[in-house]
Structure 1
Amino acid sequence: MDLQTSVFLLFVLFTAGHSLSCYECMGLTGSCADQKEKTCLNGTSKCMSVTSVSQVDGISINNKLKDCAADCANGSMNLGIVRTSAACCNTDRCNIQDTPDPSTNTPNGMKCYYCDGQSCSNTVSCSGSEDRCLTATESSGGQSVVVKGCVSKSLCNTTTAVRDVRSVSCCEGNLCNGVESVTQSFLFLCCSLVSFILLH
C-alpha cells in the first residue's frame, strides 16, 4: 500500500468517526441542572439551547431545552403569552450555558400585534433582536387559527417550514402584522411554532 492511500484511509477514519456532542435536557421546572452529554445522530450538526416563558392565568411557567439539532437559529420570539429565546452553535458541548430568560430582554421600541385566542388587536412590545412582526395561520375544519407577535429575523426564516402551518409571514415596521379576529383558540398553532423552534 502506498503512502498516499494510507494517509487517505487515516483521514477518512479520523473524520468519519467524529460525531458532534451536545448537552441534552428538558427542564420543565425552569432548570437544566440534570443536563447530560450525548452524541448526536447523523444529520444533526448543531447544538441548541432554548428557554421559553409562558404566562397562563397569571402563573409564569419557565421551560428549558437543550439537544442536538439538524438546523436552528439564534434569536427570540414574543407571542404575547409565550416568549422564547434560542441559541445555536456547532462545536462539541457548546450548549453548556442556558439561554437567557427572554423576559429580561430590553425593549427595543418596536410593537407588534398578538392574539389571545379571542382577538388579535392586542399589542406587545418587542425586545432584544426582535425586529420583525410575525403572522402565522392554519386552516383547520373550516376555521382559521392565527398567531401573531414579535420575532427575530433569523427565527422568522426558520418558521417557514413549520409542519401543518399554511402560511407564515414576517414584516418590518411597527404594527405591520395588522389586526384581525380569530375564530378558534390559537394555542395549537402557538405550540407548533414553539415546538418547531425547539425541536427542529
Structure 2
Amino acid sequence: MFKTVVCLLCLSCTACGLTCYSCEGKGCTNTTTCPSGLDHCNIKEVNGVVTKSCMNSALCVAPIPTPCCSTDLCNGATPAASSILLLMASSAIVTLFL
C-alpha cells in the first residue's frame, strides 16, 4: 500500500507538466505551466530584449538551433553570449601582456 501511494505521488508531479519562466525583460520572474506539446523551456536575447517561454522540443534541433532545456524553471538565467565575448577579450589582453 505504501509503495503504491509513493508511486502515485511521484507520477502526479510529472503529470503536472513543465514549469518555465514566461516573460520579457532581464528581471522577469513570471512562471507558467507549459501546455501540452510544449515540453522545453527557452530563453533568447534579440536586440537586448530577453524573452523566456515554453517551446516544442523539435525547435531545439532546427537548422538554427534555439537554446532550450527540459527541467522546471531551467530558463531562469540570462544568455551569456556577451559575457563570453568579454571573457575572451580580457583573456587575450592578459595573455599578450604577461
Structure 2 length-normalised TM:
0.52
Greater share of helix: 2
Say if 1:116 and 1:122, in contact at 8 Å, map to a contact too: no
Letter in 1 for 2:73: L
Q: Which consecutive unaligned segments of at least 5 residues does structure 1 have?
A: 1-106, 162-167, 181-200
Give distance in 2, aligned partners of 1:171 and 1:116.
18
Identity of aligned residues (%): 36
Aligned pair 1:173/2:71, yes or no?
Answer: yes
Higher RCO (C-alpha 8 Å, min separation 6): 2
User: For residues 31-56 of structure 1, what are the alpha-carbon distances to aligned partners after superposition, in whole Å with 9 as ceiling and x for unaligned?
Assistant: xxxxxxxxxxxxxxxxxxxxxxxxxx
Shift of the alpha carbon at 1:147?
1.0
Q: Which consecutive unaligned segments of at least 5 residues does structure 2 have?
A: 1-14, 79-98
Aligned pair 1:126/2:30, yes or no?
Answer: no
Aligned twin of 2:87: none
Aligned pairs (5 A) from 1:88-107: none
Letter in 2 for 1:170: C
Letter in 2 for 1:155: L
Aligned pair 1:115/2:13, yes or no?
Answer: no
Greater share of strand: 1
Letter in 2 for 1:171: C
Give distance in 2, aligned partners of 1:124 and 1:133.
10
Match of 1:146 among 33, 41, 50: 50
Letter in 1 for 2:57: K
In the alignment of these two chains, the number of paired residues is: 64
